[in-house]
Amino acid sequence: MNVADSEVVAAVLRQCNYQHTEHPEEADLILVNTCSVREHAEQRVRTRLRELGKIKQKHGQVKLGVIGCMAERLKGKLLEEEPMVDLVVGPDAYRLLPDLLEEVDGGGKGINTLLSTVETYADIDPVRMDKNHVTSFISVMRGCNNHCAYCVVPSTRGRERSRDPETVIGEARTLFDQGYREVTLLGQNVNSYRWNANGEKVSFEELLGRVARIDPMLRVRFTTSHPRDLSDDLLKQMALFPNICRAIHLPVQSGSTRMLRKMKRRYTREDYMDRVEAIRTYLPDASISSDIIAGFCGETEEDHRQTLSLMEWAGFDFSFMFKYSERPDTFAATHYPDDVPEAVKTRRLNEIIGLQTRLSRESKEKAVGNILEVLVEGTSKKSEEHLFGRTSQNMVAVFPRGDHRPGDYVQVNITACTPATLIGHPVP
C-alpha cells in the first residue's frame, strides 16, 4: 500500500517539476513514507531520519519530510522530536505538498495531517516506480472501519471510502496497454469495497470481474481480505476467471476464539475455518496466506496451542508473523495490559515461525512434478542465466533463461524446491 501511495506522491511532485531519483545524496527533497502498524517500523524510520539528516547537514538546501501513517499518528510532535524534519504530511494531504513545500522555502515548517472522508486520489495518474514493468498496484479504496483492538489504521488512514470503478478499470487498462501483465487491487479491507453513486452500485466481486475482463493476458490479484467479508459470491467470481490469481491472503491473527474476541476481529475460530473450507470448495487450487500475532494481551499457552493447531489444519502456504507490539491510542493500549512477558512472546513466535517453515516447505513440495504457468518478473538474484517469476498461487519459481524475458508467460516443469522457491525448467 505504501508503494501505491509513493507513486501518487511522485505524480503530485512531478507537477511542480520534481523528478524521482534512487540516490538520496542527489536529491533536493527526501520524503520517508512510513508505517505505524508496529513499533519496530517506527524505530526504523527514526534511525533512517537520522541517517538522512547527515545528508541534510552536508547539503543545506535539502528538504526532509515524513509522510504517511507515522506522520498522521504523531503530527506536530514529530517536528519537535526530529528537528531535521521540514515536512509532516498525512496520507490524505498529498495534493497539498506543493503548497507545503512553499512554506518550507519561506523558512517555516510544512504540516498537514487532516484526514478526509472522500479523498481517493482517483484522478491522479501514479508515477510507476517498479523496476520490472510487469506487475503494479492499484489502490481501489482507502481507510478502514473495523477498529481491531491492536490496530492504528482507522486513526491514521481514516474511514473507508471507495474509488469510482471506472477510474480503477481505466488505470488497469492503461497499465495493460503499457505492457504490464499483472495488477494487484489494494485496500485495507478490500472485500468491503462498495461504490454507490449516481444510481450505480458496484461490489468488490463485480469490480474484480470487470478488471479481469480487460484481457485474459492480464493477471489480477487483490489484498487484503478480512475473513468476515470474504463471501461465497467473491469466490464464485474468482472461479469464473482463470486470470484472477489463485492466491488469497486471509489474516487470522489468532486461532483462539477468546483472543479473536479480545482483538475485536468479529469472527470466531469456527468462522475462519468455514471461510478456508469455502476457498477449498470453490478454488481447490488456491494458496492461502495469513497474518499471525504472537503474545497478544492475556494470551495463554492454550490460546497459543490453538493458533498452532489452526495453522496446521489450514496448511498456510505463507504467513507474516509478529510479536504483539502495543500501539498508542488503540483500544488494546487503553484497555488491556501488555502482560505476556517478552521472552514468552519470543518463544511463541519462534514456534509459529518453525511450524510455518515446515508448512511452506510442504506446500512447495506438492508443486514438484507439476507444470505451472509462471509470469516472468526478472532476472534471478543468484544467476544472470536464470529468470524468476510467480505462479498464480503467488509462489516464486526460478528457471533457466532461454529465450524468455520479463512479461512472458512460461510453462515450467517444477523439479525441485526450497521452503521459499520452486525450481524448474521451461516446457519446450
Pair 215, 342 in one domain: yes
Q: In terms of Cα–Cα distance, which of 307, 235, 236 is closest to 265?
A: 307
Task: Output the domain CATH number for residue 19.
Answer: 3.40.50.12160
- Choose one of 343, 366, 389: the last residue of a domain: 366
* Residue 379: inside a domain: yes
CA-CA-CA-CA torsion sign (322, 325, 329, 333): positive
Pair 285, 152 in one domain: yes
Split at pLDDT 50, 70, 90, the class of 139 is: very high
Mean pLDDT value of segment 260-270: 98
- Distance from C-alpha of 163 to C-alpha of 119, rounded to nearest angstrom: 9
Helix, strand or coil, per DSSP, at residue 287: strand
Q: Are 101 and 109 in contact (CB under 8 A)?
A: no
* Residue 275: inside a domain: yes
* Residue 122: inside a domain: no
| Residue-by-residue DSSP string for 163-207 | --HHHHHHHHHHHHHTT--EEEEE-TTGGG-EEEETTEEEEHHHH
| Domains: count for the chain | 3
Task: Output the domain CATH number for residue 279.
Answer: 3.80.30.20
Helix, strand or coil, per DSSP, at residue 131: coil
Mean pLDDT value of segment 4-19: 94
* Residue 352: inside a domain: yes
- Distance from C-alpha of 388 to C-alpha of 136, rounded to nearest angstrom: 16
Pair 220, 241 in one domain: yes
Output the pTM of the full model.
0.94
- Choose one of 366, 383, 407: the last residue of a domain: 366
* Residue 121: inside a domain: no
Asked whether residue 60 carries a pLDDT value surpassing 80, the answer given is no
Percent of the chain with pLDDT over 70: 100
Does residue 184 have a cis bond before it (omega within 30 degrees)?
no
* Residue 83: inside a domain: yes
pLDDT digits (tens, 9 = 90+) for 226-245: 999 999 999 999 999 999 99
What is residue 132's predicted lDDT score, i.e. its pLDDT? 87
Q: Are 241 and 206 in contact (CB under 8 A)?
A: no
How many other C-beta atoms can be found within 10 angstroms of the C-beta atom of residue 353?
13
Pair 47, 160 in one domain: no
Asked whether residue 367 carries a pLDDT value surpassing 90, the answer given is yes
Pair 255, 241 in one domain: yes
* Residue 120: inside a domain: no
- Distance from C-alpha of 87 to C-alpha of 103, rounded to nearest angstrom: 9
Asked whether residue 425 carries a pLDDT value surpassing 80, the answer given is yes
Pair 38, 95 in one domain: yes
pLDDT digits (tens, 9 = 90+) for 279-293: 999 999 999 999 999
What is residue 202's predicted lDDT score, i.e. its pLDDT? 97
Mean pLDDT value of segment 404-414: 98
What is residue 14's predicted lDDT score, i.e. its pLDDT? 94
Mean pLDDT value of segment 151-178: 96
Q: How many residues does the chain have?
A: 428
CA 366-369-375 angle, to 5 degrees, is: 85
Pair 335, 274 in one domain: yes
Pair 87, 186 in one domain: no
Pair 88, 178 in one domain: no
Split at pLDDT 50, 70, 90, the class of 129 is: confident
Pair 410, 388 in one domain: yes
pLDDT digits (tens, 9 = 90+) for 303-323: 999 999 999 999 999 999 999
- Beta 161-162 vs 141-142: how paired, if at all? antiparallel
CA 6-12-14 angle, to 5 degrees, is: 100
Mean pLDDT value of segment 122-127: 95
C-alpha cell at 214: 480487460
Asked whether residue 360 carries a pLDDT value surpassing 90, the answer given is yes
- Distance from C-alpha of 10 to C-alpha of 33, rounded to nearest angstrom: 12
Can you give the residue range of the structural domain that contains 398? 368-426
Pair 20, 159 in one domain: no
Task: Output the domain CATH number for residue 416.
Answer: 2.40.50.140
- Choose one of 112, 144, 166: the last residue of a domain: 112
Pair 108, 12 in one domain: yes
What is residue 216's predicted lDDT score, i.e. its pLDDT? 98
C-alpha cell at 4: 501505491
Amino acid sitting at position 135 = T
| Residue-by-residue DSSP string for 61-89 | T-EEEEEEHHHHHHTHHHHHH-TT--EEE
What is residue 6's predicted lDDT score, i.e. its pLDDT? 95
* Residue 402: inside a domain: yes
